[in-house]
């Protein structure tokens, strides 16, 4: 299994401080640190970790939402959970769909979209909150070669143009070749972790998704 990572973000200052506090408390003599200090440090770490996790959105292998839900509604979902206003959700979702080449497809349901288009909706939903990190689990697993290349160029664009770290898990060496850094796992252990010597050069995307036919 290959884990491909475009870049690695540094820990936040609050997370680093909390981790340091716990390390100090655990290493020092028990008489010098009351249980309350250790508990407080752990609370800070949990709080900081939660904040970091909130910045991360997951791009699923396939779009697995209700068949009656439109692309627009799917992409709005993370913002709905955040309590954003309807106007803010609609504007942000439309922008995210446009950025993945699906402008004009906002009101189509998953059943009316191809596999590649469904994956683009999943990516739009992952970036609508403007996260620092996107976790992609086999993002091209059910796509043909051309669509897989389009999705990988899209993910690379998120990293290069928007500064979003993309952490991708894949079994396909051809897809891992798009990442700057490749970590290889065997039997749950890291076998290698190194810059990608076979990095695929950037290439123009294929023609953007066709506009939906209007009746």
pLDDT, tens digit (0-9, with 9 covering 90-100), for 4-16: 554 444 445 555 5
Q: Is pLDDT at 63 greater than 60 in this prediction?
A: no
Between 53-67, 73-87, 112-126, 147-161, the lowest mean confidence (pLDDT) is in 53-67
Q: Is residue 181 part of a domain?
A: yes
Contact 119, 72 (CB under 8 A): no
Q: How many CA atoms lie within 13 A of 189 on its CB side?
A: 2
Residue 121 has pLDDT above 50, yes or no: yes
Burial annotation 152-185 (CB, 10 A radius, 16+ → b, else e): bbbbbbbbeeeebbbbbbbeeeebbbbbbbbbbe
Token representation of residue 136: 């992609």
Q: Looking at the domain assignment, is residue 62 inside a domain?
A: yes
Instruction: For tokens 């189509």, name the residue.
Output: 108
Give 147-203 pLDDT, tens digit per residue.
888 899 999 988 888 889 999 999 888 899 999 999 999 998 999 999 988 788 776
Q: Is residue 32 part of a domain?
A: yes
Q: Is residue 203 part of a domain?
A: no
Tell me which residue range forms the domain holding 157. Answer: 2-195
The residue among 49, 27, 48 whose CA lies nearest residue 38 is 27
pLDDT of residue 23: 55
**Based on the structure, what is the number of domains in the chain?**
1
Query: What value does the mean pLDDT take over residues 128-136?
Result: 90
Task: Note whether residue 206 is domain-resident.
Answer: no
Which CATH number covers residue 100?
A: 3.40.50.300
Mean pLDDT of 29-57: 50
Stated pTM of the model:
0.64
**Percent of the chain, pLDDT > 70?**
63
201 domain-assigned = no
């Amino acid at each position: 299994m290959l884990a491909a990572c475009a870049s690695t973000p540094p820990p936040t200052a609050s997370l680093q401080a909390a981790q340091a506090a716990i390390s100090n408390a655990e290493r020092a003599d028990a008489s010098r640190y009351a249980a309350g200090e250790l508990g407080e440090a752990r609370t800070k770490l949990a709080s900081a970790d939660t904040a970091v996790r909130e910045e991360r959105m997951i791009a699923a292998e396939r779009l697995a939402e209700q068949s009656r839900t439109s692309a627009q509604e799917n992409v709005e979902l993370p913002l709905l959970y955040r309590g954003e206003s309807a106007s803010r959700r609609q504007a942000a979702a439309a922008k995210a769909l446009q950025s993945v080449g699906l402008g004009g497809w906002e009101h189509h349901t998953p059943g009316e979209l191809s596999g590649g288009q469904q994956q683009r909706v999943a990516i739009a939903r992952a970036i609508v909150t403007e996260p620092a990190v996107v976790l992609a689990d086999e993002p091209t697993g059910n796509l043909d070669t051309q669509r897989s290349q389009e999705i990988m160029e899209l993910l690379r664009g998120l990293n290069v143009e928007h500064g979003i770290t993309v952490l991708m898990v894949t079994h396909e060496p051809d897809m891992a070749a798009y990442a700057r850094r490749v970590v290889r796992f065997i039997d749950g252990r890291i076998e290698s972790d190194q810059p990608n010597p076979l990095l695929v050069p950037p290439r123009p995307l294929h023609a953007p998704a066709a506009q939906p036919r209007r009746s």
